[in-house]
Chain A
Amino acid sequence: MPEMEQPKKVADRYLKRELLGQGTYGVVFKATDTKTEETVAIKKIRLGKQKEGVNITALREIKMLKELKHPHIILLIDAFPHKENLHLVFEFMETDLEAVIRDSNIFLSPGDIKSYLLMTLKGLAYCHEKWVLHRDMKPNNLLIGPDGQLKLADFGLARIFGSPGRKFTHQVFARWYRAPELLFGAKQYGAAVDVWAAGCIFAELLLRRPFLQGNSDIDQLSKIFAAFGTPKADQWPDVKKLPDYVEYQFIPAPSLRSLFPAVSEDALDLLSKMFTYDPKARISVKKALEHRFFTSAPAPTDPAKLPKPLRKQEGKASHDRHDAIRVVSPPRKLRRLMPERGKLDCVKSHVDKDQQAPMSLDFTILAERPPNRPTITSADRSHLKRKLDLEFQ
């Protein structure tokens, strides 16, 4: 498009620069705010003849971010329509946590990991304090600013919670970050779903690869059970009441230590609390922040001194599009489902042998290629929308 070649002012104020990323519902480009001379990121969402008017995802993001102001939440500077597009102006962020985790040139010290997790949880604690569920926590949505500060972004699936009995859709989060109660179809859930996802992010920082990479919802549960064992009745009494609950063949829990051989006792203890099966018993973000992991040595690294990828990976936008693999919901109520043996063994043997080894064969072969990260696909999103229509109380 000729529009992109020459710097162009949007709404007489923003000088448009290069493309930063392709989101599910709009493009993000870099721009200079000519009023303040600051660099910003503008998310451009097409308006137009949609049957349902202004994009609901964009509206969710705006309504939440207008009220949420915190050092670890992305700052929404402005929102305005311009030429058939809705523009959301954000503070500019240099990179994201996924790029950091993926960059094999970066060494993450325990202090670095602590610092990233600390910032993630601080942002999340603020959301929960304001009764907002993020529902799309994953490294790719944790953006990192020029000063090293990590901020929660992408509030397109966020929701207000706290009204008792309110029902939500369980089709939230990219699959690898989905809590077990969601995979069992829970419709009434709370802040614990974000904690599980944050646990997955913590594990991913430690392992330098996604922790639980299921390739379907059912497989996701298998991966979870392979890591933590099938939940015992006393561990999670309410699990049987969940709508899509299916019984899995009993798998004993391997020791958490065997999955994370190199980490400190404190880290392991916090991990186990974030991965508690029963959402009621799972640690809250507030309590997690009070965990001794954050006060014991080593101290969290000063954000300004955190390692960063030299440059945001090129072609990232196209990867993202590539990544949108279809998420198949499990058929309702499969009786006595057996986890696939082979896959389970593969998880264990890899983990036992060598921490650095990726979790499944695909990634060893495609070592340079980023793993296929499931994102919320457009198919999922429309499903979500249908669900929301039904959520009418």
Chain B
Amino acid sequence: MADFQTSTQRAKWILTPQKLAERYKVANQKAVQMLEKCGTTQVEVDASGSLTYPTEKVDAGDQADKKLKPLSVDEERFMRAFYEAKVQEVCSAFNFPHKIQATALQYFKRFYLQWSVMQHHPKEIMLTCVYASCKIEENHVSAEEIGKGIKQDHHIILKYEMAVLQSLEFDLIVYAPYRAMGGFVSDMEEFVQARGDEIQKLENLLKAATAEADKVMLTDAPLLFPPGQLALAALRIANGALGVVDFDRYLENIVSQPNYEHTASELTKFLDDIESLVKNYKYPSEKDMKHINRKLKSCLGHSSSHDDSKKREKRSKHKSHRSSNDTPNGGAPVG
């Protein structure tokens, strides 16, 4: 598909920074409320995509639950950052092409526009996104193979697949910066009328820019900018180090094309914004992760300090299963 202009990505999945911040806040708040009301945030999922929300606890004001602290918006961001890096690790381990990795990352990011990490564990979503990405990019790898390759239960992947697809609103074609980058580089070859040595230099530029694009993909930028701008930003960063072309002149050349929708200064501003997202990207420290992970586990009801509360949790989970099957609502989005 070569038409980003008419794509679902352009129509639905590129947000303003304000809107993006709001989505993260709303997703977080829903989980926080759920934790207050229900004492847990875990939303159960089955293979046919039906969701089971936790039910309100009867014994309000329980002291044991007071200890349960929700993740903050920033902690959620760290959690996502951790697992987004895992997406890249898993994809490199399998030697998947960049496109698969980029699609999986986009899926992961889009999924958590609707949900809090407190509602669906990011590890499970991460694996499912990798699987779905392979499938959609026609690079089919069985769930079992993925599971085996990284010693994870592949049933989890199959269980989450439909819920993930639904949260993506079945918009499955995703544009990544990599192909656009290739296009820009061959365009540059013409622009600078490259010969011999220069062609080699441009090839190196493309290689370096690909690594930069991998970094761009870990930021919020893919939810804020079209793939062409992500590609240019990655190229500009790489070119900053390699100095292969006069980038400003190249940008002038781009904006001077008929029907180009931005001025040079607008485009430069976008690239600056993307670059600063990369510069300000924060990956959690081990200490951060330990702390956040503990909180996450307790929110999801995966751990507890003593047996008593464990039993109680199990009971309430069971109960919630039954009752919320009839009335599937819990204040969270249903897709």
Contacts and interface: CB of A to CB of B under 8 A. Distances in A.
Interface in B1-51: 1-3, 6-8, 47-50
Q: Which of B157, B158, B165 has the most CB of A within 10 A?
A: B165
A67 B166 contact: no
A75 interface: no
B138 A388 contact: yes
Nearest to A49: B47
Given A54-B161, A62-B170, A131-B2, A83 B48 contact: yes
A209 B165 CA distance: 42
A53 interface: yes
Q: Which DSSP category, helix, strand, loop or mixed, fits chain A's interface?
A: mixed
A81 interface: yes
Interface stretch (B112-120, B139-147, B221-229, B272-280): B139-147
A81 B50 contact: yes
Q: Which of A52, A67, A131 has the most CB of B within 10 A?
A: A67
Interface string B293-322: 000000000000000000000000000000
Q: Which of A53, A56, A80, A81 has the most CB of B within 10 A?
A: A53
Contacts of A159: 138
B149 interface: no
Interface string A50-90: 01111010010011101101000000000111011110000
Contacts of A385: 140
Q: Kindly state the interface size class of chain B when it binds its partner.
A: 20 to 34
A393 B162 contact: no
Interface string B194-232: 000000000000000000000000000000000000000
Contact of A59 (B47, B49, B141, B172): B172
Contacts of B243: none
Contacts, number: 86
Interface residues of A, number: 35
B173 A47 contact: no
B242 interface: no
Nearest to A65: B170
A86 B136 CA distance: 17
Q: Which of B1, B3, B8 has the most CB of A within 10 A?
A: B1
Contacts of B97: 393
Contacts of B335: 80
Contacts of A86: 162
A23 interface: no
A392 B172 contact: no
A66 B138 CA distance: 17
A180 B6 CA distance: 34
Given A62-B172, A67-B6, A130-B3, A389 B166 contact: no
Given A48-B47, A59-B135, A393-B139, A80 B166 contact: yes
A51 B172 CA distance: 21
B173 A63 contact: yes
B171 interface: yes
Contacts of B48: 47-48, 81, 83-85
A56 B48 CA distance: 15
A391 interface: yes
A252 interface: no
Contact of A56 (B3, B140, B141): B140
A328 interface: no
Interface in A123-142: 129-132
Given A130-B1, A132-B1, A52 B173 contact: no
B101 to A, nearest CB: 14
B51 to A, nearest CB: 10
B2 A162 contact: yes
A308 to B, nearest CB: 31
B107 to A, nearest CB: 12
A388 B139 CA distance: 7
Contacts of A59: 135-136, 165, 172
Interface string B147-171: 0000000000110011001100011
A311 B307 CA distance: 68
Given A56-B140, A131-B2, A67 B162 contact: no
Nearest to B163: A81
Contacts of B162: 47, 53-54, 81, 86
Contacts of B47: 47-49, 53
Contacts of B142: 51-52
B135 A392 contact: no
A361 interface: no
A81 B49 CA distance: 6
Nearest to A389: B140
A80 B169 CA distance: 9
A337 interface: no
Given A63-B172, A67-B7, 14 more contacts: A47-B162, A48-B48, A51-B144, A59-B135, A59-B165, A63-B136, A64-B173, A67-B3, A81-B166, A85-B48, A130-B1, A130-B2, A130-B3, A131-B3
Query: 10 tightest A-B contacts by CB?
Result: A81-B49, A63-B172, A79-B170, A53-B161, A131-B2, A84-B48, A47-B48, A53-B158, A62-B170, A130-B3
19 contacts: A47-B48, A49-B47, A52-B143, A53-B135, A56-B135, A59-B135, A59-B165, A62-B170, A63-B172, A64-B173, A66-B8, A67-B3, A80-B335, A81-B50, A84-B48, A86-B162, A130-B3, A388-B138, A392-B140
